[in-house]
């Protein structure tokens, strides 16, 4: 990695010498956006920074949900050599801020009025001790289902709005000989599905269990029902699901090999990147029973403490570029997410994007917008990881029933706090 960085710097320096350009600082960016749709979105950011003479040194760490990226980050910080800017989620941002590792973006934020345009729910993860420590680039949500339109039409059934209707469609797809549920058996993917299943049993229940970590909600009858539903869903995956990357599961739906995927709206980035059109080729719906509510996660770029005026200036310039409303539209149209500002027009977004923006605003107004447990916005990493273990064990049939899984979840969360 150092060799590549060194080579890139030399090339930039040589270019500047020949063109007489003012010295531009590079930013080294750690991220996990390596799928087709994610890479397309990342290019929007790279190109935008390029127009501002901010050089990009790429540090991709593949692995959906970012667990591997966070491990790589810890190693770099421990070695005393943090990257300039890091894609990060929710409580991880606050943890690093608590360790005093992050730079301060408050001057840029104040000059550009971020306080007035970034949703308050996001600000809870972008600020620490009253200071801006990260620039939010998007708002994703996890309670979506992506359905192959032809496969849905073949069932003769309409878009499902309840759990029972969903099960009827999954059964019909199974009878028609396609894999009903495209899924990758990785803990974060299992947990992403479970976010939606829990939310589908009620917003009060989601909040009590995953935000308030109420032991009775975590171990009670509703959680047992949630696990029974998850176990039911596990019966609709194909035999090769174990370990499959999420974007390969998206491809199965895109190609008509599978009926649907339950995944955050980064999946839409894959559909769009494959030239697919919402309404014609695929359908986006909220997970049945979660209409009117949203479990969100926001990718933010946290700036690590670096030395040198030029490096700090480049971080500020990158943060400013990320928060530009025109950029927020261009980026999120490709990424599948909604903008992280409330003042971005929805004109450029497709129907699913418009729905994402409208749902987010409505959930925010009605108090039904909650942080995603699977993606680090409901509880700190220790608790999140404890839920992963139980959810994955349940998905793989390791408990006798939902009641046993719920009891294990309450114990695991208690031990993790």
Nearest residue to ligand GAL, using CB? 64
In the complex, minimum distance from the CB of residue 168 to ligand GAL, in angstroms, rounded to a whole number: 29
Q: What b/e sequence results for 336-372 when a residue is b if at least 16 CB atoms lie within 10 Å of its CB, and e otherwise?
A: bbbbbbbebebeebbebbebbbebbeebbeeebbbbb
CB-nearer residue toward ligand GAL: 109 or 249: 249
CB-nearer residue toward ligand GAL: 16 or 248: 248
In the complex, minimum distance from the CB of residue 37 to ligand GAL, in angstroms, rounded to a whole number: 9
CB-nearer residue toward ligand GAL: 28 or 38: 38
CB-nearer residue toward ligand GAL: 64 or 220: 64
CB-nearer residue toward ligand GAL: 182 or 208: 182
Would you tell me which residues interact with ligand GAL (CB under 6 A)?
Answer: 32-33, 38, 64-66, 89, 140, 246, 266, 297, 299, 375
In the complex, minimum distance from the CB of residue 295 to ligand GAL, in angstroms, rounded to a whole number: 12
Contacts of 121 (CB under 8 A, 6+ apart): 296, 364, 369, 371
Distance, CA of 192 to CA of 43 (rounded, Å): 26
In the complex, minimum distance from the CB of residue 195 to ligand GAL, in angstroms, rounded to a whole number: 12
Residue 276's CB: how many other CB atoms inside 10 A? 18
Rounded (10°) angle between helices 221-234 and 163-175: 20
Rounded (10°) angle between helices 221-234 and 381-395: 60
How far out from the chain centre does Cα 27 lie? 23
Spatial contact of 42 and 31, defined as CB atoms under 8 Å apart: yes
In the complex, minimum distance from the CB of residue 38 to ligand GAL, in angstroms, rounded to a whole number: 5
Per the DSSP assignment, residues forming a β-bridge with 285 are 145
CB-nearer residue toward ligand GAL: 89 or 252: 89
In the complex, minimum distance from the CB of residue 177 to ligand GAL, in angstroms, rounded to a whole number: 29
């Amino acid at each position: 990695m150092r060799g590549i960085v060194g080579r890139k710097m030399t090339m930039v320096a040589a270019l500047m010498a020949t063109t007489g350009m003012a010295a531009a600082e590079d930013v080294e960016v750690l991220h996990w956006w390596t799928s087709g749709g994610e890479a397309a979105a990342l290019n929007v950011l790279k190109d935008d920074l390029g127009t501002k003479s901010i050089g990009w040194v790429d540090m991709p760490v593949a692995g959906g949900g970012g667990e591997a990226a966070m491990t790589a980050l810890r190693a770099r910080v421990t070695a005393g050599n943090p990257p300039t800017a890091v894609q990060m989620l929710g409580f991880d941002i606050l943890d690093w801020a608590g360790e005093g590792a992050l730079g301060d973006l408050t001057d840029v934020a104040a000059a550009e009025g971020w306080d007035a345009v970034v949703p308050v729910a996001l600000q809870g993860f972008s600020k620490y001790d009253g200071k801006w420590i990260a620039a939010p680039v998007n708002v994703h949500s996890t309670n979506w289902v992506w359905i192959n339109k032809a496969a849905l039409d073949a069932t003769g059934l309409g878009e499902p709005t309840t759990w029972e209707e969903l099960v009827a469609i999954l059964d019909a797809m199974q009878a028609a000989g396609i894999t009903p549920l495209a899924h990758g058996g990785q803990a974060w993917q299992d947990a992403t599905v479970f976010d939606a299943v829990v939310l589908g049993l009620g917003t009060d229940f989601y909040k009590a269990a995953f935000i308030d970590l109420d032991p009775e909600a975590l171990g009670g009858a509703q959680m047992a029902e949630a696990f029974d539903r998850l176990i039911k869903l596990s019966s609709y995956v194909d035999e090769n699901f174990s370990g499959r990357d999420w974007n390969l599961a998206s491809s199965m739906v895109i190609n008509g090999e599978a009926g649907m995927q339950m995944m955050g709206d980064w999946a839409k980035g894959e559909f769009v990147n494959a030239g697919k059109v919402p309404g014609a080729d695929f359908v986006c719906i909220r997970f049945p029973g979660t209409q009117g509510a949203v479990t969100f996660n926001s990718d933010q770029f946290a700036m690590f403490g670096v030395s040198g005026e030029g490096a700090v200036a480049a971080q500020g310039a990158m943060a400013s570029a990320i928060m530009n409303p025109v950029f927020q539209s261009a980026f999120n149209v490709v990424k599948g997410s909604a903008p992280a500002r409330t003042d971005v027009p929805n004109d450029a977004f497709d129907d699913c994007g418009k729905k994402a923006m409208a749902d987010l605003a409505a959930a925010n107004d009605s108090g039904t917008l909650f942080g995603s447990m699977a993606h680090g916005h409901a509880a700190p990493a220790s608790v999140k990881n404890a839920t992963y273990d139980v959810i994955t064990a349940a998905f793989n049939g390791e408990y006798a029933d939902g009641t046993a899984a719920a009891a294990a979840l309450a114990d695991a969360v208690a031990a993790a706090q």
